Structure formats: C-alpha cells, structure tokens
A and B are shown apart, each in its own frame.
Chain A
Amino acid sequence: MNALPWAVSAGLLAIGLYGMVTSRHFVHLIGCLSVVQASTYVLLLAAGFRWNAIAPIFYSFAPGTPAVDPVVQALVLTDIVVGATVTALLLALVLELHKRRGTLDPDQLRPLNRDRKG
C-alpha cells in the first residue's frame, strides 16, 4: 500500500503509451492519451494525500483539523480542464481529417506523407 498509488500511476503511463504506439485508429489513440493523463491525476493526488485526514473543506469540520493537500487538488482541476480542451481540439482535428481522407487508420493515412518522386 505504501507504494501502490505510485505503481498504479506508472502503470497507467506505460499502458497508455503502449496503446498509443500500437493504436490503429486515431480516436482510440486519443482515448489512450486520456489514460496517460489519468496517470498524472493519480500521481498528483497521491503526492498530496495524507492518512487519517479530511478533505480540505472545513465546512463540517473545524478549521485546523488535519486535512489533505488542497494545492495538488487545485492543480488537478486545472489539469482536467487542460485535458478536456486538448481532447476537444484533437477530436475536431480528427473529425476534419476523417472527412477528407475517409479513414482514421494511421497506416492508411501514411501514403500521403510517403516520398513522391518528380
């Protein structure tokens, strides 16, 4: 348990990157990107966690009660916004790409980029 959150975060990063490397569909690739991002959520929140502490909201508990770190939570909130914006942009790009090329398989898209003589 002492190291499990760190391991989970590293595992999510690895599996997300693995998915991106082997992806055969751009929408799937964006999904894998969100897994990579989830690893940063877990890592950040784990870095601010503390056993036997309350959430950093002193509504029903008096101020001064031991609480977990509010800073990392604020950072994760920002992170979520960043992820949402980037994902939205990527989806828009992918949508347009699909309209033009009729496919989202990276292997079928590549011929355009291949060398052309002449």
Chain B
Amino acid sequence: MNARARLLMFLFAWAALGPAVVVLILHLPRFGAHALPYGDLINDSAPRERHVTNAVSAVNFDYRGIDTLGEEFMLLCAVTGVVVLLRSKRGERVDAPAGRVEARSLRPRSDAVSGVTRVLAPVTALFGLTVALHGMTTPGGGFQGGVIVASAILMVFLGEGYRSWRKSAPSIAFDAAEGAGAVLYALCGFASLLAGLPFLTNFLPLGTLRDVFSGGLMLIENAGVTLAVAGGFTVLFGEFLEETRVETRDDES
C-alpha cells in the first residue's frame, strides 16, 4: 500500500468520521456549564477533611492515591526500559566510563559557562524543591518539582562537563533514588495497612489549612514522588546524553 492509497483511505475514513464527530460535538454538554458532581464533592471535602488547599494534590495523593502509585511505577518501568535499551548495549559498566569517552570530555569548558551554571543550577534545584514542597497549598507538587530538580542536575552536566558530572553523580545513585521514591510511596500504603486501615489511608496528623506542612501522609507521598521523578528524569536525560558522547566519538575517529 503506497502513500497515496494510505492517505486516500484515511481521508475516506474521516469522511465517515467527520459527521459523527460533528453530531457528537453538538450533543456534548455546553462548555463550562454542566454539572461536576465528583469535582464539587472533592472541592468541598479537601479543605475540610484533609486540610489542604490544593484540591488537585489532594486528588492525586489521597482520594485517588492509587492512581499516582501506579503512575510512579509506570515511570519506573519506562526508565528501566530506556536503560535496558540504551545502557545495556553500550556494554560498559556505566560507573566506570570508557577511556575515550573520558578523553573527549577532558576538553575544558569555558569558565563563563560553568560559572553561570554553577549559580543557576542550585537556584533551579531550590526552585524545584520549593515547588515540590508547596504542593499541598499552591500549584505544584512532587511531579513538577521533580522535573525541575532533574533539569537542575542536567545543568550541572552542561556546566561541569561529563567527567566531573559522572564523578559527583554516579548513575547508580539516580537509579536508586528513582526506585526508592516509588517504593517509599508504596510503603506509605503499607503503613496504613499496618495501622489497621485501608491501603493509603491518611492516618497522620493533618496539620492546619494553608500551612506548608499540611496533609499528613500526603507529604510523605509527595516526597516519594519528588524523589522518584527527579531520579527518573535525571536517568532519562543522562542516558540520552550519554548517547551523544558515544556517537560524537565515533564520528571523530
């Protein structure tokens, strides 16, 4: 089947789908004006029963906490998959980089670049942690904060070059951080079980509304997510960047 036949067939299908979609759109509820029973229930319950102001975080970590648990392990799964795909084939022990790869990165970075990143990276990391920490009260949370922290670590890579990055941050640490974050989240659930409550029941003191440390068990879960996401995305960035090194080496030789 060539490109044209494929396209024709596709357009044909949409000729049938188009009217259906139009009918559907006409039947959908008016945008912004329909009942939201589930959302209202949560909006009512989250500040009252969980003492957090960010209802989205409350849904993520409490009302539908098991979803986020699954999501963390999905991330773990994907990162493991990427590691298997990219790292195993490189064949080397990652924490002991091969000579030529190292040789390439010996080229000194300009001082300006590393100076800027030395200032920027900690600031970004701090920002990420702030975003993660305030997840219960204001927009943000473990996921967004974790990604920002991971990009801060990436900056260290860009500024300091490959070698010192590897030295200061062996990939095994990030693997472990990833796994530990996800496991921490799951252990929160088992802690509830040990307390004789249903899985992931929030049994810790809830704190006061609008306080950063409100939300009880959600805080620990949030920390777990931060750890898992920061570790996971760092591993992803690291693995992809590792590829650029191997490839440039090939091209130069």
Known: A3-B26, A67-B55, A77-B56. A72 touches B85 (CB 8 A): no
Overall SS of chain B's interface: helix
Q: B1-20: which have CB < 8 Å to A?
A: 3, 6-7, 10, 14, 17
B58 touches A70 (CB 8 A): yes
Residues of chain B contacted by A2 (CB below 8 angstroms): 30-31, 33
Q: B24-78: which have CB < 8 Å to A?
A: 24-26, 28, 30-33, 36, 38-40, 42-44, 46-48, 53-56, 58-60, 64, 67-68, 71, 74-75, 77-78
Q: Is the C-beta of B207 less than 8 angstroms from some C-beta in chain A?
A: no
Q: Is the C-beta of A82 less than 8 angstroms from some C-beta in chain B?
A: yes
- Distance in angstroms from A76 CB to nearest chain B CB is 9
A88 touches B139 (CB 8 A): no
Q: Is the C-beta of B239 less than 8 angstroms from some C-beta in chain A?
A: yes
Q: Is the C-beta of B195 less than 8 angstroms from some C-beta in chain A?
A: no
Known: A10-B21, A70-B39. A63 touches B48 (CB 8 A): yes
Q: Is the C-beta of B151 less than 8 angstroms from some C-beta in chain A?
A: no
A86 touches B56 (CB 8 A): no
Q: Is the C-beta of B138 less than 8 angstroms from some C-beta in chain A?
A: yes
Q: Which residue of the partner chain B has the closest CB to A80?
A: B143
Overall SS of chain A's interface: helix
Size class of the B contact interface (CB-based, 8 Å)? 35 or more
B82 touches A57 (CB 8 A): no
Residues of A within 8 A of B (CB): 1-7, 10, 14, 17-18, 21-22, 46, 48-51, 55-59, 63-64, 67-74, 77-78, 80-82, 85-86, 88-89, 91-93, 95-96, 107
Residues of B within 8 A of A (CB): 3, 6-7, 10, 14, 17, 21, 24-26, 28, 30-33, 36, 38-40, 42-44, 46-48, 53-56, 58-60, 64, 67-68, 71, 74-75, 77-79, 81-82, 85-86, 89, 137-139, 143, 209-210, 236, 239-240, 243
Extra pairs beyond A59-B210, A96-B89 (12, CB < 8 Å): A7-B25, A14-B14, A18-B10, A49-B31, A69-B39, A70-B39, A71-B64, A77-B56, A86-B78, A89-B78, A92-B239, A95-B86
